[in-house]
Amino acid sequence: MSDAESLLQEVSSYLKPKDVEHIRQALGFSDSAHHGQLRQSGEPYISHPIAVARILTPLHLDAPAIMAALLHDVVEDTHISNAEVAEKFGKPVAALVDGLSKLDRIEFETKEDAQAENFRKMLLAMARDVRVILIKLADRLHNMRTLHSMAREKIERIARETMEIYAPIANRLGLHEIYQELQDLSFMHLHPTRYAVLVKAIKVARGNRREVVGKIQDAIRQRLEEHHVIAQVQGREKHLYSIYEKMQSKSLAFSQVQDIYGFRVLVDNVAACYLALGALHGLYKPIPGKFKDYIAIPKGNGYQSLHTTLFGPYGTPIEVQIRTSEMHKIAEAGVASHWLYKTTHTPINDLHKQTHQWLQSLLESLSQSGDSIEFLEHLKVDLFPDEVYVFTPKGKILALPRGATAVDFAYSVHTDIGNRCVAAKVNFELVPLRAELRNGDRVEIITASNAKPNPAWLSYVVTSKARSQIRHFLKTMHFEESAQLGERLLKQALASLGVKPQDIEDAQWEKLIKDTTAKSRMEILADIGLGRRLNMVVARQLARMSDGNGHEHSNSGVITIQGTEGLAVQFAKCCRPIPGDPIIGIIKKGQGLVVHTHDCPTLRKGRGGTDEWLDVVWDKHINKPFDVSIKLIVANQLGVLAKVAAAIAEAESNIENVHFTNEGDYTTLYFTLQVGNRQHLAGVMRGLRGIPEVVRITRIKAAPA
């Protein structure tokens, strides 16, 4: 029987004749479209889509999904368009095919950009319809099974991508068998020698341990019968990559890995699970710390089971999983159990809710990521395999990735809680926001209405939701601040042309937006603030629209620096300006307005055209501390550092940083202080000069090395 006939026979076992006929038509269409094409192995190309469809039939996927599997490469690799697929087989099938098609016709700067954008598109389609990823996983599984004919470099790239992205997605969706096979195949292609050695060792161990495994299985059955627990007992072998992972993580030789074999106990109901657990703990002693209750607290992918490790005969550790038959169905098929088991049982409904929530969080990351590579980073973080379970103050359980912090918890509760969090209590004690959470922690977040995310949080949050929300907030804040600065810069430029900002009509702005292909007035103003557009150029464009001659006037506006502009205004590190210093500003692309002192050495070296330089002055009512650096040469005497610190504190200045170099009888001290203005700094320096041990004191413009 051919593969095509086998496929039609398999779908006939669970689909209606009308659906089977539609699949037969899709098969013929795909065969015709791929006619003459060969795979790298030399086989006719149609063998691949048929194999992908056959991987999906054990999951009992519906007719549109099987048809999309057969047609998934026709748009990408043949002359057929998606519109033709829609016309022939309907929009639902075409939507699935479109979600699976790569973006090969779009030019990208790098392979990484292309890969990231392909994932972005696929996962956006997946968020709308989970069948997209089920088909894609089947496609990747067949490609991994037939990877041998490709170049070594390509094999490694595809295998690494599978290990990092596709296998974890399969795990996240609860597709246990596909997940394990993808991991094993990736391991085989990435480390062929290690794989071969391990396969050989397992074959030998299988023969040596068969008798022991049989005895343990019989003992488990007998103990369960004695306790009147009706159960199926199955022996199972750990998959290859999980054995290798254990050897790597614990630096073990293969002979030291004892729990290659485990046992699965299937019972009728939840009560029987715990009864079976008690019976087995009476048969063999449990190993402390090796018990996990995934029934009371299911994994994020819906998996439920009791896990325990026992001291077996001959000192062999025995890993046992205890679950109901319903739990076993979900453990094997995951989210695909919706098609495989047409039931209304609660666990499957809960699983689909959890999957939907995860897909919605993906959509959120998609909408807030600045680019595809950033989104791919969020996705990899979100596919973290290990989880910790923590409690809210009301007793609700939240599952977070291992290594999650109080900030991750705050964002998982609600975006607003994350954006406004200022402190956290874990088990009723105050902890830093960066504190890692552990299983069973009770976490409470303290918020403040005026609080906002700190960019430093990005260095320790691990969830994609926290990372994307923090970045989104910072970008929005930067955009708004830049737009405010851009508006002030534009007003200055318009004033120099003798045009009043209020005289610029909406129609003029609309024409400018259209001419510059900007999305809005705010975008143009933000671009001015970030240095992507010159204020004088935009002012001239608006002025020309106003009077038609672009006549310029000599009166010029001046930008007032208030110190509260945030990210839109930066104070140059090369000269560290403080209020009272004569200053000048430069617009730097992507950075906004950078303020320098008039006598800045960098300014003297690099000053260019006049359009990019702006006259700026300090606001008279600035009430904000500024960093300034000073250098002191002091005599080496006992207590001199304490005297200097006391004098700085007495002058109401904070010490941000201090370091020193010792030169025999004298020491050079470098301080970074916080002062309000030049007068405040003069007061600090006056106080320091009054210390007898201070030989010399100077302000240094550049940050200390």
| Residues known to be catalytic | 76-77
Phi, psi of 637 (to 5 degrees): -135, 150
Residues 6+ apart with CB under 8 A from 516: 524, 533
What type of residue is 531?
Answer: G
Please, are residues 516 and 537 in contact by the beta-carbon 8 Å criterion? no
Backbone angles phi, psi at 579, to 5 degrees: -50, 130
Q: How many CA atoms lie within 13 A of 16 on its CB side?
A: 3
Give Cα 423 to chain centroid, integer Å.
23
The span from the CA of 591 to the CA of 479, in Å, is: 11
Residue 461 phi, psi (nearest 5): -70, 150
Query: What strand order describes the sheet that includes 654-663?
Result: 654-663, 666-675, 626-635, 694-700
List the one residue out of 3, 1, 111 whose CA is nearest residue 51: 3
Residue 86 is encoded by which pair of tokens? Answer: 């829609």
Nearest to 174 by CA among 303, 266, 361: 303
User: What residue type is 108 in one-letter code?
Assistant: F
Give the pair of three-digit tokens for residue 116: 């990231």
Is 7 within 8 Å of 30 (Cβ atoms)? no
Indicate the Cα dihedral angle 673, 674, 678, 684, nearest 10°.
-50
Give the strands of the sheet with 583-588, arranged side by side: 559-561, 613-618, 583-588, 592-597, 569-571
Dihedral sign for Cα atoms in the order 526, 528, 533, 539: positive
Q: Are 460 and 408 in contact (CB under 8 A)?
A: no
The DSSP result for 373-410, as a single string, is: HHHHHHHHHHT---EEEEE-TT--EEEEETT-BHHHHH
Place of tokens 């977040």: 445
Please state, in angstroms and rounded to a whole number, the distance separating the CA atoms of residues 537 and 493: 9
Entry field: residues in the chain: 705
b/e burial code for range 165-196 (CB count within 10 A of at least 16 → b): bbbbbbbbbbbbebbbbbbbbbbbbeeeeebe
User: Which residue, 685, 702, 677, is CA-closest to 582?
Assistant: 677
Burial track 127-144 (b if 16+ CB lie within 10 A, e otherwise): bebbbbbbbbbbbbbbbb
Q: How many of the other CB atoms lie within 10 Å of CB of 105?
A: 7
The three-state secondary structure class of 177 is helix
The encoded tokens of residue 369 equal: 């990521």
Amino acid at 664: G
Longest Cα–Cα distance in the chain = 102
Coil vs helix vs strand at 447: strand
